[in-house]
Structure 1
Amino acid sequence: MAEPNRILTVSRLNALLKELVEDNFVQVWVEGELSNYSTPASGHAYFSLKDASSQIRAVMFRSHLRLLPFRPEDGMSVVCSGRVSLYTQRGELQLVVESLEPRGVGSLQLAFEQLKARLAAEGLFDAGRKRPLPPFPVTIGVVTSATGAAIHDILHVLQRRAAGVRVLLRPVRVQGEGAAAEIAAAIADLNRHGGADVLIVGRGGGSLEDLWAFNEEIVARAIHASRIPVISAVGHEVDFTISDFVADLRAATPSAAAELVARSRLELEGHLDHLVLRLAAQMRGRLELLRERVAGLNRRLRSPRGEQALSRQRYEALERRMKQGMDAILLEAKREVGTLSGKLDAFSPLRTLARGYAIVEKDGRAVRDAAALSVGDRLRIRFARGEVGARVEEKG
């Protein structure tokens, strides 16, 4: 019989085994297949990691689990990193997982595919829910970085192709922790503001990690909930994000998005030019035809006074018809030109001035940024009616 001082309790034995295991398996990498995966109310994940002939129980605590960009599922082949421990209450070995990567595909790519499939099943990508862009937007809301290249590209295109269009910038961070929440909040803010006719949401190109904020579910939900049509303008032509699939329209770049909203105005101006040219051509043709008829009548005039009087009557009747026809043509032309001029007037900077805004100029150029001014600078301020001189007294 063993000596009493050599007899171990179960708890003591498990404690010794736990110490032995944890001292020798501090950091291990294990490859296997997920099985019996579950996440109870505690927020921790419990599962088995198995191969063709063996398995081991595993746990991933909530603090590490929340950092995973994808959702682990049964049957998924993974590589786990962690330490081996002994659960002393049941005397079971377990792998305490600290990081988990899918085998054969990156975790971000897997998260992208999982979210894309889930939102598609909910109908967020359906073509039937996508809205057309407004034909003549007056105010364009932009959600992007205030210092990035995207906003400069958008403003450059709009200044060149749609001068007078108002831009409402809601600056956000476009990458890094918290960026997705800022983007979603900005979309909601512009909807509450109610002043924008269309929204451009985006940034310049980058890696999958750089663009990840636009692949987050919170941004997709915000775009889907927007009452204002949304153009997603994220990255370069080869980059696609979840935002691209949810938005009403996808643009390959921020510049392309600006060209899309400015296209209607250019089409209107081109249509007006075409109408003016066509009207002028029609009037020239009609006048030439009437001149030929008058010339023919003059050639047919004869010397007898009766025929001469009859010819003169015909001439006067044709002249009246010509005048009436020209008056009718000119009246219709004035109506059409007036209608189109009214539409163009809606985009005029003068209309903006009439609503109470003013244009501040320094040395004959409009001032868009207070940073461009210095104390003592002389300014001209133009209102809807009249202008005044001013001088910068202080800067905020």
Structure 2
Amino acid sequence: MQNLTTKKVFTVSELTDAIKFTLEPAFNNIEVQGEISNLKRQSSGHYYFSLKDKSSQISSVLFRGNSLKLQKPLKDGDQITAKGELSVYAPRGNYQLIIREIQHTGVGTLLLKLHELKEHLKQLGWLDKDLKKSLPKFPKKIGIITSPTGAVIQDILHVLGRRFLGCHLILNPVKVQGEGAKEEIAQAIDDFNRFNLVDVIIVGRGGGSLEDLWAFNEKIVAEAIYKSEIPIISAVGHETDYSISDLVADIRAPTPSAAAEIVIGEQEHILEYLQQAKQRLYGTFVPRVKHARQRLNDIQKYPVLSRGYALFATKLQSLDEMQEKYLSSIKYFFLHKKEQFRHVNQRLKAFNPILQLHQSKDRLFSYKKQLDLSIKTQMNKTKIVFDKNKYQSLALEKIQAVIKEKKIRLENLLQMFKAIDPKNLLSKGYSILFSEKDHSIILSSKNLKKNDSFYALTKDGKIYAQVKEIKSEGLDG
């Protein structure tokens, strides 16, 4: 030891060994009183924690063999008296208390304070389950109050990103431990409510000692959660950690990842139900569709169905025959009407006054020639000398009488034509009906049907109308 203390330069190992050889013999059987904090139990059965008082703390370890003598499980906040020895752990260069025996002496200061606040809030009614708000089934905006650099936000993003349900995340970054943490957490909750930014809020942080989680055990945070109009999920620490924020919040999540699962749980449940319903529908209808398709394929194998014309050949031929028959009937109808029109036109030409005048003139000329010839013949027979002027006068009188007779007949014909002229009929109150579709004369009510359009020709214009009703009635006389 003298050689070590007189050396001017030490290696790290030499200095650590010197400290170890100095401390361990001097503190090989001691008792230390303090409060358990930051307790961890490894799968090997060893306990690691800090033993602290108001101003100091020391790392401690209780190995599995010594832990079997515990009268009750250890937890953060327990006041104990530990018996053991001081040890220097060279790999990390720190000293720790190796505990052989533990005696419980009471509840720690922080646990006592936590219990008192819990009872106070219970009296205020802040822990009543009837006041808990329900989470929205389909949240679109989720507010997160935590450290921007911690593992909590990454865990939440991982869960929501894996589901990718279209949620919009808003992070309000805060301190989660240390001075000012409680004020920032409370202010973040108030901000989300004041501006109505989100549908649900997740407040949380990762695991740690009771001191690390203490910001979530403060009344100011509890009051902000209680007054929040927006539902809040508290996810502080690990599953075994309970805080005041967990008790006041609408829902407590064991971990931040679980909080993300809870906030979209209803939506996930509905989507899962829809997926199951989809599978049931597929399971029900796909076999039916396959069966129906098979039946359809079997039916199509019949010759009468494999060739579509086999079903409609007879009908198609009947339609062709009917078409030909109707076309022939229509053609015959128009030819007959054309022939009638030709006869009527010829008859009208026969009653043309100018033509009749020419015919009468021709006949008069023929009569005159016959008369002259007759007179000349008679004179040759009798050889009588006669007065030429006298006979000419007689012939002229006869011609004028014939012309007068023809004129009277012509006037009678003109009067008859005027009587049957359609325009004269229209002036007497009659009208002629025409089809608006093809402008043909309507001779019978059978030429029309309901809603057909037609027009009536009167003496001074046309009247357009539409068929409202058809009544077939016979006319007497």
| TM-score normalised by structure 2 residue count | 0.39
Greater relative contact order (CA < 8 Å, ≥ 6 in sequence): 1
* Richer in helix (by share): 2
| TM-score normalised by structure 1 residue count | 0.46
